[in-house]
């Protein structure tokens, strides 16, 4: 894999979220560790498969951010990266509002151990 710079800023968080897998008809509780305008990093999600479609829901200050997503990578530590699907302007604005209240992480090179 060629090492690339990240495309957007990431924000550090420890948010509990729900991850629905429509194909299986199941929902899991997950932990969002990093969040960005394009996706997020999940911890403790070894059951996910690359290219698996899902829906992420995060409660934030009495409202819920919900978005379709696709698993774009996972690693041997049980972490998984989600890429968010197309969000309408209101949902995108809400996501930016959430990110604005989180701690910005420095832009770094991507790790090499991704599937």
Domains of the chain: 10-105 (2.40.10.220)
Place of tokens 């911890």: 43
d(CA 83, CA 72): 6
Q: What is the pLDDT of residue 2?
A: 40
For CA atoms 67, 25, 21, 30, give the dihedral sign. positive
Q: What is the pLDDT of residue 27?
A: 95
Q: How many CB atoms lie within 10 A of CB 40?
A: 25
Q: What is the pLDDT of residue 112?
A: 61
Residue pair 17/4 in contact (Cβ under 8 Å)? The answer is no
Q: What is the DSSP letter of 73?
A: E
Q: What is the pLDDT of residue 20?
A: 96
Q: What is the pLDDT of residue 84?
A: 96
Q: What is the pLDDT of residue 1?
A: 38
Residue 72 CA to its chain's centroid (Å): 10
Q: What is the pLDDT of residue 109?
A: 61
Q: What is the pLDDT of residue 106?
A: 73
Place of tokens 């690359």: 50
Q: Residues in the chain with pLDDT < 50?
A: 1-5
8-31: per-residue pLDDT in tens? 888 999 999 999 999 999 999 999
For CA atoms 56, 86, 82, 91, give the dihedral sign. negative
What does the block give as tokens for 11? 């924000």
Q: What is the pLDDT of residue 105?
A: 82
């Amino acid at each position: 894999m060629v090492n690339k710079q990240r495309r957007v800023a990431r924000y550090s968080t420890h948010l509990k979220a729900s991850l629905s897998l429509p194909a299986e008809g199941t929902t899991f509780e997950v932990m969002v560790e990093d969040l960005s305008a394009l996706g997020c990093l999940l911890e403790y999600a070894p059951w996910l498969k690359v290219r698996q479609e899902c829906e992420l829901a995060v409660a934030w200050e009495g409202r819920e951010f919900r978005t379709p997503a696709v698993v774009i990578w996972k690693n041997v530590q049980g972490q998984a990266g989600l890429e968010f699907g197309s969000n309408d302007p209101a949902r995108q604005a809400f996501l930016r509002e959430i990110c604005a209240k989180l701690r910005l992480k420095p832009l770094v090179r991507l790790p090499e151990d991704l599937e």
